[in-house]
Structure 1
């Protein structure tokens, strides 16, 4: 597994079709969490504070994921379903044909930060 130095390196190594999505999620998370630091943890880019990951994102072969706290996923499960996206306990998957809405990125990130207390 490749270790990435920063968000730019991670995005550059992702499948070309997913890079615009990753850049957009990164930008939206930076706007939503302006006081959080860009971090790489578990070989995945994210935003954190006080040593805790608030929100992370990742690319796979055909889709991307946004990873937040369990409580954030639970709180917004109806919105995730309404957007036609699939969720696990801590993540939401999306793709170029079915992107994650900006409002949902922000809501999940803020809920995750609140749950983690940072």
Structure 2
């Protein structure tokens, strides 16, 4: 993917099968973090304050990812596993076949914000 000016252009350029997932993820993050700014940082859409990224998301050829703080992933490892999703140190991958539950998005975003203290 190329450089993007905003979330809308990022989602529009994502693989078609992931656009609804990304739109829902964006909506859920905006609800969980209503006072956060939307921005593009490191070539992916994110939510945060200034240079503090609370949560970001991305689409790839076969999956999508939600990226939050390490502590958020660690503190919700059981929830991530229960949803049948895979986690890395700072992210959770999901797809159309296994979407990320809205409640999990909210939990991860709020935990990330708390850990970052913003």
Q: TM-score, normalised by structure 2?
A: 0.98
* Cα shift readout 1:39-94 (whole Å, capped 9, x = no counterpart): 10000001011320000000000110000000000000000000000000000000
Query: 2: CA distance between counterparts of 1:67 and 1:109?
Result: 9
Measured in 2, the distance between the counterparts of 1:52 and 1:8 equals 21
Aligned positions of 1:77-116 closer than 5 A: 77-116=77-116
Q: What is the SS of the residue equivalent to 2:55?
A: strand
Q: How does 1:24-103 map to 2 (within 5 A)?
A: 24-103=24-103
- Count of equivalent residues: 118
Q: CA deviation at 1:2?
A: 1.3
The alignment partner of 1:55 has SS state of strand
User: Gapped runs of 5+ residues in structure 2?
Assistant: none
> Structure 1, unaligned stretches of length 5 or more?
none
TM-score where L is the length of structure 1: 0.98
Following TM superposition, the consecutive aligned residue runs of length 4 or more in structure 1 with deviations greater than 3 angstroms are: none
Q: Over aligned residue pairs, what C-alpha RMSD do you find?
A: 0.7
